Amino acid sequence: MDFPWEAGSATGVGSYPGTDSAEALRVVLGELPRLPHLPELPARGPGADLIGRTAGLLVDLAVHVEPSGWRFSDRPGRDTRRSHDHLGRDLDVLEEVAGGHDGPFKIQVCGPWTLAAAIELRNGERALKDPGAVRDLTVSLAEGIAGHVADVRRRLPHAELLVQFDEPGLPAALAGTVPSASGFARLRPIEAPIAEETLRQVIDAAGAFPIVHCCAPNVPYRLLRGAGAKAISVDLSLVPQRDDDAVGETIDAGVGLLLGVVPGTDVSLPPLQATATPVRDLWQRLGFPIAQLGEQVVVTPSCGLAGASPSYVRAALKRCQETARTLHEAPDA
């Protein structure tokens, strides 16, 4: 197995509280030195959120904000410009604060299925309902992500880039549980081969080490591997034992696991060993060599940290790194 991170690494999922991108990035670099990431600050408003941030990358497709959420527009307007401005400032800060970084570095984008379930067509229905709209969105997104990755690489010329595709909405799209615009019906389920091929298009276009994040029940591990994911990020508390076979196949295939074990909102953190125990239990239950654990697993918060306090974020990220180090250096402890 050849992963871009060092054994005993931890990282964040993406979102972060507050509005100061420089301060957020400094905290991430300080607490997660082995695998830092570009923080996302949704508290800044529309265009800094997961959907608006990625929608701003779309090529030849514009969006704007309606009371119901993001919707496609005929031409770029204030909301599209706001998305570009937020991301542009973040990348300027990234270059200034971390331009000399020479290790792995992670950025995050919304995946095509979650994006299609969130952006509305001009008639108010979700793009997910229209296969043609999904195809157009996917082509546009692939081109936009390729350009974004190239821009980040220019700003971090010595780093090895990892791209995390956020797909929390994919299980619902596959199950046919995404509500229609009216809320009285559900959109038809997406066929697994189509879902896999669509996700593969954007993963291939990125041209960087691909991670797929899915902080939802019923993670489609085999589909994600088939789409080209080299690591899968999940909230460990949402992984039931019935998923053991799928998780075991993922480990056996040499795919990395980013396991969310630290709560994403303010709590009193338990002792370090209590944080590490669920990861050890999973690994031992599946019967894999314990020495392999620290190499294949990256420790993360359970999901984004946008709803946490700044002081808790520091503690949570520090705990993630401490847990990862413990799992690598003392896997049997």
pLDDT, one tens digit per residue, over 222-277 is 999 999 999 999 999 999 999 999 999 999 999 999 999 999 999 999 999 999 99
- Model pLDDT, residue 269: 96
Q: 164: which residues sit within 8 A by CB, 6+ positions away?
A: 13, 14, 37, 106, 107, 108, 109, 211, 212, 213, 233
Q: 99: which residues sit within 8 A by CB, 6+ positions away?
A: 155, 156, 157
- Model pLDDT, residue 83: 95
- Model pLDDT, residue 215: 92
- Cα–Cα distance measured from residue 333 to residue 327, given in angstroms and rounded to the nearest whole number: 8
Q: Where are the domains of the chain?
A: 45-229
At which residue do the structure tokens 């338990």 appear? 270
Q: Where are the beta strands (DSSP E) in 12-103?
A: 62-66, 69-73
- Model pLDDT, residue 136: 98
- Model pLDDT, residue 169: 97
- Cα–Cα distance measured from residue 68 to residue 55, given in angstroms and rounded to the nearest whole number: 16
- H-run or E-run covering 13: none
C-alpha count within 13 angstroms, C-beta hemisphere, residue 255: 27
- Model pLDDT, residue 181: 84
Q: Which of 86, 83, 90, 96 is nearest to 156 (CA)?
A: 96
SS3 63: strand
- Model pLDDT, residue 12: 98
- Model pLDDT, residue 277: 96
User: What is the mean pLDDT of each successive set of 10 residues along the chain, which is 333 residues long?
Assistant: 94 97 97 98 95 96 93 91 96 97 98 97 95 98 98 98 98 96 90 98 98 96 98 96 95 98 96 96 94 96 96 97 94 72
Query: What order of strands is seen across the sheet that includes strand 256-262?
Result: 104-110, 160-166, 209-213, 231-235, 256-262, 297-301
